[in-house]
Each structure stands twice: as C-alpha cells, then as structure tokens.
Structure 1
C-alpha cells in the first residue's frame, strides 16, 4: 500500500477486516477498537463500513502513519506552500547523535525546517499533542512534517539486516541513497491521496498509547479486531527505525524506553518471578523454557516469555474494562518456536481472555506460507522443518 516507504507487517488483510466487521457488527453506531493499530487496516475497514473506530499503538511511526492515512490531504498548492515557506535557517539541535548518524544533514535540515519556530519545549508539546489527541484531521503544517518524516525512511543511511524487517546502519563502503527528501515527501503524499477514505463516515481516531493502559472510557467499546505482537522476537520499533528516531527526538519521547515498552520486545524489561495468575499452558511453557539446555534459556529467553505472558494478561484485563457487556471481537495470532519447542501463542491469548471472563474459541487455523523459520538457515538448528500456523480466535463477553 505504501511502497517502500514503510515496513509494517499487516497480520490480516483489509478484506478480512471487512468480513469480520460484517459478521460482528449489528449496527453502524458500534465502536470498533484495534489496540495494535499498525498501518490502520482495521480502522480503514471500519471507515469503509461507516463504523466509528479507535486505534492505539506504541510506535510513534504507526500513529503518524494512521493520522496521515485518515486525514484529508491538503490540496497540492497548500502542500507546496508549506514546503516553500519553511524556515531557511533550521537548527539541528533537536536531533540526537544516533538520529543524526542515520541521515544526511540536508534531510535533517528539511525536517527541522518544517517544525514550529518556537522554543524546543513548545515544539515537543506540539508534536506530543498530535500523538495524544483523538482528533483525526491534521493541519497542513503537521501533515507535511509527518509526510517528510515517513518519507525519510527511504532516504536514511540504512539497509535491511539478516531479518528482513530489521533495519541496520550502512557499513563502510555500502552505497547510500541519493534521492532528495523533498521529492520523496511529495511522492509519499501522492500515495496518501490515492487511498480511499469514506467521507461522511466517522473518521478513525489514532492515538499513541499502550494497550495495557488504554485511554478509553470503561464500558465504551463494542467490537475489537486486532493482531497482537507475535512471539518471534520482531522488534516493531526497529522495523521503521529512522522515522521512529526522528519522531521520538522531536516529541521528547525516549526511544530506548519506547522499545522496552513494546510487547514482545527483545529487551529484558525486568526479572520478576511471577508473570500473573496464569493458565496451565503458560505454566508448562515457562517450565519447559526454564529447563531447556540452551545456554541463554534461564538468563534471557525465559524473562522475555514471562514479560510477554504478563503483558498479554494485562491487555485482556484492559479489554474487559473498556468493552461493553455484549462486547465481542476477533484476534489473528501466529504460533512460533522456541528452539525445537512449538509455542502455541494463540493458547496464551486464549487463556488470558478466559481468565478475565471472556468466552473464546478458535475458529480457523491456516498454514503460514512464508516466515523466518524457512528463510533463515540459522532457524533450522533445533527444528529442521518449522511449519507455523495462523489462528483466528473469536471472543465475547456477556
């Protein structure tokens, strides 16, 4: 949908979201929630069907993308006017040394020239307010700035690593891109203009927020359709690292803290002994990992799994709080492997929902055609043939 500008893995298609909403929705006033909004697949489907929707995400990049996607684009003349009237002497002081190392000075100067000319604190408050508000429509200045930041993903001095969704800096001698950011910004804006928005229907709300503590009123959501982070050690912050670093710098958000807060993070968050009052499958899985012969099982991987399970239960508790008594939804989730052990991620999610009073059942299982277990030779050390499955769970509360 967005070409090479973004790297957001969509766990399900627009057509799946449309079908799910057609099954789950009984009237057009029902509110739809996606607590892991990503590129806004669920939100786009809700808009097409005329349903109000709310999308949350911990990635500044994803929230910026969703806000752009569902804002009415400025006319080309207005867009060009913002670009041409930018600050001719921008300061680069807002950017960390890490961010500066990812870009050419001219690209950073273009981005800096589009932010308000007030002091640093006012600039950061301006961008933070964009992330925190439920307001859908961006003003022209914010729209052009966010277009430039996301387009900078394609001009940054980075490439993909061994895992195709991980981004790394260019090594000495590796060629860098020479496309001008201003051209990329206009090209990305043209892509956005080609997306269909149903005018007259409720515009989706997208906010920077944690699914474990949703800024949503109690008993206010009718339907939830989402795909939680998988247990395959994908770093969702790093997949769009350049733009995320810029957005964190300009809004005063600590990038390292954001990475640690992501569910499924590769970082060790804590080593608390008990993840939650968990179900039998979760207990057995943690026991198998703790007793595994692999060197880092006890010191590293076990704690990753503890944190993931704890987070899953916390999200289910929040779902119970924000959903109405007749709330219902669908979840798409993929299983994974720990070494040779198959990890039934859907069972973790199912146990967490049941623990909070939801009724839940598996309605579909399909083989995943392409995944890292097949692409990377290192993945076959413990299990020579890794067939993964994707599950659809339906849940309800009454």
Structure 2
C-alpha cells in the first residue's frame, strides 16, 4: 500500500430503517449503514488480498459488507451474542436447510426438564415451563457444537432463538432498547407453548432462504470471528490492512443489559458469567474495583475529567469521574492495540458520537484524534453529521442542564505511519 493520504467519499453512517442489509437479518439498534461501509471501501482502494478488521464488530456490518466485496475479514467482539449474529449472516441456502433439519429434530414433549436451575436468567421474563424449553434447546445446540460462532448453521439457529426470545419479552423492553426490565410478579411472566416455539423457529429460519447474502455474491472473502476485548486483540503485529469500526460511545449505555435477552438464551444457566461480561464491556455503567491511573488520554479528555471532578452535582467526583476515566483509559488501550496490529500505511476509519455530562461537553471525535495521533496514526479526514436522536438524551432530566438535545456523529479517518 502506498504512503499516500486520501480524501474519502463518506456517506452519512446513520442506519436507515428497512434499507440496511442487517435490518432484515437482525435489527440491532447500534451500528452504521451498509452504504457507509461500501463507500469507504471504494475510497480506500485496498488490494483484493487485504484483510479488514472491526475490533468492535457488533452485529457485523463491516465484516459482512467487506466480505461480500471480496476482502478477508476479522470481526472481534467481547459479547459472544454479537459474534454469533455476525457469523449467521454468512450462511447460505444449504446452511438454512441444515438448520431446519436440526430444529425439526427438537423434542417437544419428552425433553430433559432438569436442565433449568432456579437461578436461570430466563426466569426473569418467562414462566418455568417456557424457560425450561428454551434452556433445553440452547443446551442441546451447545452440546452439538462447542463453539457456535464457528458454525454458520448453529449460529443461524441461535439467531432465530435470539430473535424469538426478544420478540416474546417485548413488553419488558422500554423505548430505549438498552433498557430491559425484569418481571416483578410471577403472573407477569411470559408463557409460550413448546409447539409454538418450535414452529416459530422453523418459520424464522425458513424465512431466511430468500434473504441469504452469500448466495447472491460473486465472490466472498474469508471470515474469522474472535470473542475478545479491543484492549487485547488476539492478532499478530502489522497484520491488518484497514480497520472500519464504531466503538461504544461515551454515553454510559450498558450494552450487556441491551443484549440481556440474548445473553439469557446463551449463558442464562450461568448468571455469574453474564454479570462478569457486563463488567468487561467498554462503555459499561459499572466501575472496576481495581485502582487505575489516568495517563496519556490527551488534553481534551483530561480537561473533561477535571470538570466532572469539580462539578457540584451528586456523585460527580466519585462514580461519574471514575466512569468517564475508565472509558477513556480503555479507548487509549484499544487505540494502542489498533496501532500495533495495523500495517504501515494501513487505514483506520471510525464513527464516534459526541455527548454531554450535565452541561459538560464530551467531544469524543477530538479525544479520539488526540489519542490516535499520540500513537502515530496520522489524521487524514473528519466529517460530521448531525443526529437528531441520541440514546443519551432519552432521559428528560438532561434538559435541566442544556437546551441542545441533538448529537454529532463524526467519521474519522487515519493512516498508520
């Protein structure tokens, strides 16, 4: 790859309802559009043998579109649910038929009911019989396939199970999809007949026959998915040609809660594992018990931290200061990893969004730029798009501190020295 800078053609990264490949596959609220990825790819003019990484892969918009363009892709996400969803998008018609055959073989009446423990996460929303049947299906599939994210067939079945469970517990999901409530009373819990669950699974999977992406593509690059943290990428030094990604924003959104129905399906018989995962995700609302030092996060991040520390609102100098500091440290560590794995003259493209703490402005684009440049990533281009909707602004109490309720989504492009 030549040592040159580009002036990329960039479309608004905002997802458009029903116009995104992923929407018809699995409607995940976070992420960017297919058209954004395709346009960036054209601008980068990468060689066909290039490997493209998304270290915060989510539901896999980057990995899917880059693979369909013929590139080899690597998707990394600490949340195993997201890796399964991203992998499922690589199934073809034969995989759909194989998945249907497996689901048809599921028992409806004589299945092992002792698989459900009273602490099972699914019991937050479902009555015992419904939760027991869903747990039976999950354990049956995981026994057949030890690593679901390595199999398009089993990923597709889990995608169906994720989708149905999210649909069944819809009354517990608030207007903000990152807020998932739990039932307070036993009679609030959802009850679904076993035959209906199995029938719904078959209908969902059968419906994918007409919307598989792989069958329509001329060439498809190889795909690899890792369940790992962006702060410790399981990749060789200088092995990646380009990175296209969007990290969790600095908005104190709990992505573990956001996918709690899906995590309940996958790991609900180990509630401790779900809690541990929540406490590792970037942008989490929980605070690490270990002491941490704020070093090399850049002048803008340091200034924001000082303002939060001195703010007179409740818990600003304790919880909120630590929460923001924790986030900035993990972004710094992640950008150090990105610099380590990207090739000389490789490109790093990311979408970030600004936010506020009370009236304190968090210019995340500038923070990313300062940390990236400190790691020898050369700033090439910045483009801002106004977003009328921000998860952080759903809380009406925010209006007490400021009038502006819109946000800026910013596309940043860097090149490695």
TM interval, shorter chain, is 0.7 to 0.9
Structure 1 residues 328 and 182: CA distance shift in structure 2, 3 A: same
**TM-aligned CA deviation for residue 338 of structure 1:** 0.3
Query: For 2:371, which of 343, 352, 373 is the aligned residue?
Result: 352
Query: For 2:71, which of 46, 51, 55 is the aligned residue?
Result: 51
- Mean Cα displacement is larger for which, 189-198 or 173-182? 173-182
**TM-aligned CA deviation for residue 287 of structure 1:** 0.4
Give the corresponding residue for 1:369.
Answer: 388
In the TM superposition, 1:193-204 aligns within 5 A as 193=209, 194-197=211-214, 198=217, 200-204=219-223
Instruction: State the alpha-carbon separation in 2 of the partners of residues 42 and 35 from structure 1.
Output: 10
Specify the SS of the correspondent of 1:261.
Answer: coil
2:135, 2:265 within 8 Å by CA — same for their partners in 1?
Answer: no
Instruction: State the alpha-carbon separation in 2 of the partners of residues 65 and 227 from structure 1.
Output: 17
2:388, 2:405 within 8 Å by CA — same for their partners in 1?
Answer: no
**Alignment partner of 1:319 is 2:338:** yes
Query: For 1:101, which of 111, 124, 142 is the aligned residue?
Result: 124
1:70, 1:203 within 8 Å by CA — same for their partners in 2?
Answer: no
In the TM superposition, 1:294-333 aligns within 5 A as 294-333=313-352
**TM-aligned CA deviation for residue 145 of structure 1:** 4.3
1:99, 1:246 within 8 Å by CA — same for their partners in 2?
Answer: yes
Instruction: State the alpha-carbon separation in 1 of the partners of residues 86 and 270 from structure 2.
Output: 17
**Alignment partner of 1:168 is 2:185:** no
Give the corresponding residue for 2:200.
Answer: 184
**TM-aligned CA deviation for residue 351 of structure 1:** 1.7
Give the corresponding residue for 1:383.
Answer: 402
In the TM superposition, 1:25-64 aligns within 5 A as 25-64=45-84
**TM-aligned CA deviation for residue 83 of structure 1:** 2.0
**TM-aligned CA deviation for residue 78 of structure 1:** 3.7
Instruction: State the alpha-carbon separation in 2 of the partners of residues 226 and 242 from structure 1.
Output: 25
Where structure 2 has 5 or more consecutive residues not aligned to the other structure, the ranges are 1-20
Instruction: State the alpha-carbon separation in 1 of the partners of residues 351 and 339 from structure 2.
Output: 18
Give the corresponding residue for 2:281.
Answer: 262
Instruction: State the alpha-carbon separation in 2 of the partners of residues 84 and 162 from structure 1.
Output: 35
1:234, 1:265 within 8 Å by CA — same for their partners in 2?
Answer: yes
- Mean Cα displacement is larger for which, 384-393 or 220-229? 384-393
In the TM superposition, 1:148-167 aligns within 5 A as 148-156=161-169, 159-161=172-174, 163-167=176-180
Q: How many residues align?
A: 388
Structure 1 residues 301 and 92: CA distance shift in structure 2, 3 A: farther
Specify the SS of the correspondent of 1:167.
Answer: coil
**TM-aligned CA deviation for residue 252 of structure 1:** 8.8
1:373, 1:380 within 8 Å by CA — same for their partners in 2?
Answer: no
**TM-aligned CA deviation for residue 168 of structure 1:** 1.0
Specify the SS of the correspondent of 2:259.
Answer: helix
Query: For 1:83, which of 100, 103, 118 is the aligned residue?
Result: 103
1:335, 1:389 within 8 Å by CA — same for their partners in 2?
Answer: yes
**TM-aligned CA deviation for residue 12 of structure 1:** 1.7
**TM-aligned CA deviation for residue 126 of structure 1:** 4.6
Please report the RMSD computed on the Cα atoms of aligned residues, expressed in angstroms: 2.9
**TM-aligned CA deviation for residue 261 of structure 1:** 0.6
**TM-aligned CA deviation for residue 240 of structure 1:** 2.0
Where structure 1 has 5 or more consecutive residues not aligned to the other structure, the ranges are none
Give the corresponding residue for 1:335.
Answer: 354
Structure 1 residues 203 and 183: CA distance shift in structure 2, 3 A: farther
- Mean Cα displacement is larger for which, 247-256 or 158-167? 247-256
Give the corresponding residue for 1:225.
Answer: 244
Structure 1 residues 362 and 323: CA distance shift in structure 2, 3 A: same
1:153, 1:240 within 8 Å by CA — same for their partners in 2?
Answer: no
Structure 1 residues 170 and 37: CA distance shift in structure 2, 3 A: same
Structure-1-length-normalised TM-score: 0.87
Instruction: State the alpha-carbon separation in 2 of the partners of residues 112 and 309 from structure 1.
Output: 38
Structure-2-length-normalised TM-score: 0.84
Instruction: State the alpha-carbon separation in 2 of the partners of residues 102 and 92 from structure 1.
Output: 19
**TM-aligned CA deviation for residue 285 of structure 1:** 0.9
CA deviations on 1:163-208 (whole Å, 9 max, x unpaired) are 3431112454758475832233234324543142236411422221
In the TM superposition, 1:127-146 aligns within 5 A as 127=146, 129-131=147-149, 135=150, 137-138=151-152, 140=153, 143-146=156-159
Instruction: State the alpha-carbon separation in 2 of the partners of residues 311 and 249 from structure 1.
Output: 27
2:127, 2:190 within 8 Å by CA — same for their partners in 1?
Answer: no
